[in-house]
Structure 1
Amino acid sequence: MDIEAIKQLKARYFRLLDRKDWAGWTEVWEQEIEHEMPADGTSFRGAREDFVAFVARALTGIVTVHHGQTPEIKLTSPTSATGIWAFVDRLKAGPDAQPGISEFTGFGHYHESYVKSDAGWRIKTQRVTRLRMDIGPAESS
């Protein structure tokens, strides 16, 4: 049941992120989190609200589609777990995007840790590794 709950958590993560439901997306994270994305040099440690605000600013005007699959989830205690998810993400500039933003398709893995509390399972740490990035030119209007 815990592994299924973590799968449901990650499904909400993708749906809420792509819908830009920042209040809902905040709830998939533990109060204090760590995030790292070595491919673009992003590193964050601190309050989930600050991280969500950072992501919301970065994705202003960007349409995103995230698909995660083939989870490898390991329960490490009754209240902790780790997981690795293969993923594909697509980003494309919308009319409100900053100039020069290009279309992007990425392939890689999420490496995560989870904690369980009275609120259920939440993401505590996340490291995003990339296997490939296809970057297209920005469209001119």
Structure 2
Amino acid sequence: MTDNDKAAAILEIHALKARYFRTMDMKDWAGLQATFAPDLIADFRAASGEWNEAMLIHGAAAYVAQLAPMLQQVCTVHHGHMPEIRIETETEASGIWAMEDKLWVEEGAPLPFRWMHGYGHYHERYVRLADGWRIKEIRLTRLRVDAG
């Protein structure tokens, strides 16, 4: 790959992650699922501040099917910052994104808190499919979680 090809791939991955955040916050579940490779590995076991083995999910459809009812009654705001993207081959890349999220939970939602403000990093692997870059692996680590 040329340097220009790598720069173009990095911009495409930036746009992919922007779609991830937007579709998550807008509860566009089909759009969110489209940001992932079908064989996604989603590791959110440490995402809430407490280890939850049930949050290691294989498959994009399975991940979104588990996530959607959990967040349906939650206002979320996700921000990604300072991406470190490494293009490894023409079809593979990796990245780390600093992140911050805020959640406001409506009455009756299945979450054990009313609000949350989290800080951490997304660790990701990307794959270029026939229709563009997709998130192949996603893991969230936390630096801090404030909740009440």
TM-score of the superposition, structure 1-length normalised? Answer: 0.90
Distance 1:82 1:61, change over 3 A: same
Q: Deviations over 1:76-131 (max 9, x none)?
A: 10000000000000011125524853200000000000000111000000110000
CA-based RMSD:
1.4
Q: Percent identity?
A: 42
Name the one with the larger helix percent.
Answer: 2
> 3-state DSSP class of the match of 2:88?
strand
Q: Deviations over 1:34-80 (max 9, x none)?
A: 111232422112x2111101010111201100000100000010000
- 1:139 aligns with none
Identify which of 37, 49, 52 aligns with 2:61: 49
- 2:105 aligns with 93
Identify which of 4, 11, 27 aligns with 2:11: 4
Matches within 5 A, 1:36-115: 36-39=43-46, 40-41=51-52, 42-45=55-58, 47-95=59-107, 97-98=109-110, 101-115=113-127
8 Å contact from structure 1 (residues 72, 85) kept in 2: yes
Distance 1:99 1:65, change over 3 A: closer
How many residues are treated as equivalent by the alignment? 135
Q: Match of 1:130, as an amino acid? A: R
Identify which of 24, 35, 39 aligns with 1:17: 24
Q: Match of 1:22, as an amino acid? A: W
**Structure 2, unaligned stretches of length 5 or more?**
1-7
Q: Give the CA deviation at 1:16.
A: 0.3
8 Å contact from structure 1 (residues 60, 96) kept in 2: no
8 Å contact from structure 2 (residues 83, 98) kept in 1: yes
**Structure 1, unaligned stretches of length 5 or more?**
137-141
**Within 2, Cα distance between the matches of 1:59 and 1:134?**
18
TM-score of the superposition, structure 2-length normalised? Answer: 0.86
8 Å contact from structure 1 (residues 81, 115) kept in 2: yes
Distance 1:117 1:23, change over 3 A: same
